[in-house]
Amino acid sequence: MKYVQNNGRYDLAFEIEKNGRPVKIEFFRRRVYMDTGNVAVQGITPVEDDDFEKLNEFTRFKKLFETKEFELTEASKIETSEQKAEALAEENAQLKKELEEAKQLKPSDKVKKQLEDKEKEIAGLKAQLEALAASKAPDAKDETEAPDVKDETEGF
């Protein structure tokens, strides 16, 4: 058994004769759903050895290997949905383990002191802000504000 990967831009098919009957062998290219990123078709076609020999009689088939549009791959590259699910389950278990380890970590004394210093600084800045807001008269106009100017183009 050989595995042919279609790296080209198009799906291709070849028709061979097997046991006196025409058999169409299709080589689909890799397709990915753009909205979800899921692989629709992997682009790898398993071909029997005797069928591969018959396909090698086609000059177009040989040319595809020369131009690297087709290449032989290993069976391990074919990823089934069960293999994907197993890989995701392993990754999920690893991430859960890392999360539990991260939850158990306690901040060091140095980090705690830095956090307390920052909280004190924030409290001091808030007090200054409130003092500035209280000292400013609510009816006094801020000198930085632009004076009210009536738009002369209004009404045209």
113 and 77 together in one domain: no
What does the alpha-carbon distance between residue 149 and residue 67 come to, in Å, rounded to a whole number?
73
Is residue 66 situated within a structural domain? yes
Structural domain containing residue 120: 107-135
**How many structural domains is the chain composed of?**
2
- Assess whether 22 and 57 both reside in one domain: yes
Same domain, 66 and 121: no
pLDDT band at 144 (very low <50, low <70, confident <90, very high): low
CA distances from 26 to 40, 55, 57 (A): 16, 11, 16
With respect to residue 153, please indicate whether it lies within any of the assigned structural domains: no
Most confident of 17-26, 35-44, 75-84: 17-26
* 63 and 9 in a common domain: yes
Give residue 25's pLDDT band: very low, low, confident or very high (50, 70, 90). Answer: very high
H or E element at residue 62: helix 59-66
Residue 147 counted as domain residue: no
Maximum C-alpha span of the chain:
101
pLDDT at 94 over 90: yes
Same domain, 71 and 116: no
Please check whether residue 114 lies inside any domain of the structure: yes
- 97 part of a folded domain: no
Residue 36, domain member (yes or no): yes
Give pLDDT, residue 119.
Answer: 93
Domain for residue 95, yes or no? Answer: no
